[in-house]
Amino acid sequence: MNNSKSSAFVVVDLQVDFCPGGALAVSGGDEIVIGINSLVSEGAVFFDKIVFTADWHPEGHISFASSHNLEAFSRKVVDSNIVTLWPDHCVEGSEGSCFHSTLKTEKADLIIRKGRSIKLDSYSAFFENDGKTPTCLKGYLTDHGI
């Protein structure tokens, strides 16, 4: 383990499905790509590690409204929690699961694909929604003294 103070630049879920035109689009979500690319290009100057995260759901994922035969954005009790059901998005290997086409990922030290369990959603880059299943980000950062 590295005992010196370190830093990481973590880019969270900058994927096609979260950008304009995607299945779960964020208005203007693609407008940050130029700034992120600039930081990634200069990354070694500012950061010890560069990490990208990505939603990576199997077909039939529990968070998809289609898996429950309900409309997108419906709410449902799942495992004693009220959850919002989303349109199918970031299905592993699909175009929507890809990083934005102009995002520079070549300098990534780590890419974490989360939300991979069919029965467990993931909003956090650190833990799946059960609050106890790690995505490996914390361990990676800790192992590198970050």
User: What is the C-alpha radius of gyration for the chain, rounded to an integer number of angstroms?
Assistant: 16
Instruction: Please give the residue that has the higher pLDDT: either 112 or 44.
Output: 112
pLDDT, mean of residues 85-111:
97
Confidence of residue 127 (pLDDT cuts 50, 70, 90): confident
pLDDT of residue 3: 43
Q: Is 88 exposed, middle or buried (0-12, 13-18, 19+ CB in 10 A)?
A: buried
Q: Chain-wide mean pLDDT for the chain?
A: 90
pLDDT of residue 75: 95
What domains can be seen in the chain, in order of their start residue? 8-60+90-139 (3.40.50.850)
Question: Can you tell me which residue has the tokens 């304009």?
Answer: 20
Nearest CA to 28 out of 92, 97, 79, 100 is that of 100
Rounded CA-CA distance 21/6 in Å is 37
Rounded CA-CA distance 11/27 in Å is 18
Confidence of residue 2 (pLDDT cuts 50, 70, 90): very low
Tell me if 53 sits within 8 A of 141, measured CB to CB.
no
Rounded CA-CA distance 72/88 in Å is 9
46-96 per-position pLDDT tens digit: 899 999 999 999 999 999 999 999 999 999 997 777 889 999 999 999 999
Give the range with max mean pLDDT: 13-27, 39-53, 76-90, 126-140. Answer: 13-27
pLDDT of residue 45: 80
